Amino acid sequence: MAATQVLRSEWTKIRSVASTVWTLGLAVVVTIALGMLISALTKSQFSDMSRRDQLSFDPTFISFAGTSLGQLAMIVFGVLVVGNEYSSGMIRTSLAAVPRRGTFLFGKVAVATALALVVGMVTSFATFFLGQAMLGDLRASIGDPGVLRAVFGGGLYMTLIAMFSMGVAAMLRSPMLSLGILMPFFFLISNILGNVPATRKVGRFLPDQAGSRIMQVVTPVDDNVPYGPWGGLGIMALWVIAALVGGYAVLRHRDA
């Protein structure tokens, strides 16, 4: 009873602010546009690529190249959905209406996640088909082995990254602080950790690097990653659960 009320209320909240449309819209446009651009560039330069790169060429993964940037908009969406309650002070009014804080937080996360999932899936499939159209005769087909899993997984990846941001925002209770940590982390730090040989083994277990494994169809040459595509997504899901549990613990025990 109370849970459905929270869901309806959260849906009203999420659809009545402009930031929802902006952040999700940006996620869609950036992911698709960048994916198409990189796909087109790759096609035109394929003949110049080394033999090794040509052998491990993954048309599906190339079309998801825009995800690295598009995920940042998803992070902003996740952070704002939760963080705006704190920055506006609305959290007090909300919690006065729903004294059961777990119901409140998970109702909010559920609505935002459902929306992110829909947008993520649409983006993922659109990115795939439009990217393949750019690749011309290099393209993969949705029926090829592993491709449907990768495209579906791309939608899940976008959803999980938004959920992770919601958990972090609930822990930090401030949108500015959350964005200040998450944006550079996913844009820079994670990439650096993953490319420096000394930290590569650790970097692999970061949420974005583990999760993006699901979008690969062709395993790179000399690949020694200790988990498969679903294993990687599982690692990402563990990060998400940890963030949400942390956020719930903070909300439950701290003064609003």
Judged by the rule CB under 8 A, the positions of this chain that interact with another protein are 1, 5-6, 8-10, 12-13, 16-19, 84, 88-90, 92-100, 255-256
User: 133 Cβ partners below 8 Å, 6+ apart?
Assistant: 36, 139
Q: How far apart are CA 248 and CA 95, in angstroms?
A: 13
Question: 19 vs 219, which CB is nearer to another protein?
Answer: 19
Smallest gap from Cβ 159 to another protein, in A, equals 23
User: 192 Cβ partners below 8 Å, 6+ apart?
Assistant: 199
Question: 17 vs 188, which CB is nearer to another protein?
Answer: 17
Smallest gap from Cβ 88 to another protein, in A, equals 5
End-to-end CA, the chain: 24
Smallest gap from Cβ 92 to another protein, in A, equals 5
Burial (CB < 10 A; 0-12, 13-18, 19+), residue 253, is exposed
Beta strands in the chain (DSSP E): none
Question: 108 vs 213, which CB is nearer to another protein?
Answer: 108
Smallest gap from Cβ 253 to another protein, in A, equals 8
Question: 5 vs 199, which CB is nearer to another protein?
Answer: 5
- Structure tokens that stand for 9 in this block: 């209320």
Smallest gap from Cβ 90 to another protein, in A, equals 6
Q: How far apart are CA 72 and CA 231, in angstroms?
A: 23
DSSP state of 214: G
Q: How far apart are CA 88 and CA 107, in angstroms?
A: 19
Place of tokens 């996913």: 186
Smallest gap from Cβ 7 to another protein, in A, equals 9
Place of tokens 């958990």: 167
